[in-house]
Amino acid sequence: MGKFKSISPIGHIILVAGLIYSLLSVNPLHTFLAVVLPFILVKLSWKNDEAPILFTALMTQYMAISVKVFYANYSNLAFDDISLHRYPDYINEAYYWGMGGLVTLALGIHFAIRGFKHTNNTSILAASHQFNGDKLGKLYLLLAIAYPILFKLSFSIGGLQQPLSKLIEFKWALFFIFMIYAFYKNEKKMFLWIASAELLFSFTGFFSGFKDYFLILFIGMVVLYGQNFKLQNIIPLGVILIVGFYTLMIWQYVKPAYREFLNAGQKTQTSVRSTEESLFKLYNLVTEIDSTGIKEGFEATVNRLSYIEFLSGAIEHVPYQLEHTNGELWLGAVERVLKPRILFPEKAAIDDSEKARLYTGQDYSGVESGTSISLGYFAESYVDFGKTGMLLILLVFGFVIGSIYRYILKQSPDLLIGTALTIPLFFVIFNYERALDKIFGALFMYLIIYLAFNRLVIKKTIEYLKND
pLDDT in tens, 198-238: 888 888 776 777 888 889 988 998 888 876 656 666 777 78
Q: Is residue 4 part of a domain?
A: no
The answer to whether the CB of 67 falls within 8 A of the CB of 305 is yes
- The reply to whether 1 falls in a domain is no
With a cut of 60, say whether residue 407 has pLDDT above it.
Answer: yes
Nearest one of 309, 307, 303, 245 to 431, comparing CA atoms: 307
- Residue 252: other Cβ atoms inside 10 A: 19
CB 226 within 8 A of CB 233: yes
Question: Could you count the other beta carbons within 10 Å of the beta carbon of residue 222?
Answer: 19
**Residue at 355 is within a domain:** yes
Q: Which long-range contacts (CB under 8 A, 24 or more apart) does 149-154 make?
A: none
Residue 291 — pLDDT band, cuts 50, 70, 90? confident
Structural domain includes residue 295 = yes
Q: Has residue 198 been placed in a domain?
A: yes
| Residue 2 included in any domain | no
Q: How many CB atoms lie within 10 A of CB 139?
A: 18
Phi, psi of 4 (to 5 degrees): -75, 155
pLDDT higher than 80, residue 296? yes
Answer positive or negative: Cα dihedral of 115, 116, 121, 122: negative
Give the integer Cα–Cα distance in Å for 259 and 151: 19
Question: Which residues, including other chains, have CB under 8 Å from residue 411's CB and lie 6 or more apart?
Answer: 418, 454
As a whole number, the mean pLDDT across the chain is 86
- Beta bridge partners, 4, equal 47
| 304-344 tens-digit pLDDT | 888 888 999 999 999 988 999 999 999 988 888 877 665 65
| 233 is a domain residue | yes
Cβ atoms of 349 and 368 closer than 8 Å: no
d(CA 353, CA 404) in angstroms, rounded, equals 30
Averaged pLDDT, 456-464: 87
Could you please report the per-residue DSSP string of 270-303?
Answer: S--S-HHHHHHHHHHHHHT--HHHHHHHHHHHHH
* pLDDT at res. 367: 53
On whether the CB atoms of residues 48 and 96 are closer than 8 A, the answer is: no
Beta-carbon contacts of residue 444 (< 8 Å; ≥ 6 apart): 337
pLDDT at 258: 85
Determine the number of helices (DSSP H) and then strands (DSSP E) in the chain: 20, 0
Please indicate, yes or no, whether the overall pTM of this predicted structure exceeds 0.85: yes
**Per this entry, what is the length of the chain?**
468
- For residues 292 and 399, the model is more confident at 399
Q: Is 61 part of a structural domain of the chain? A: yes
d(CA 314, CA 97) in angstroms, rounded, equals: 12
Domain, as residue range, for 117: 9-466
Domains in the chain: how many in total? 1
Cα-based distances in Å from 391 to 41, 100, 298, 438: 16, 7, 32, 20
376 neighbors 434 (Cβ within 8 angstroms)? yes
* Range name among 105-119, 274-288, 378-392, 406-420 with the lowest pLDDT average: 274-288
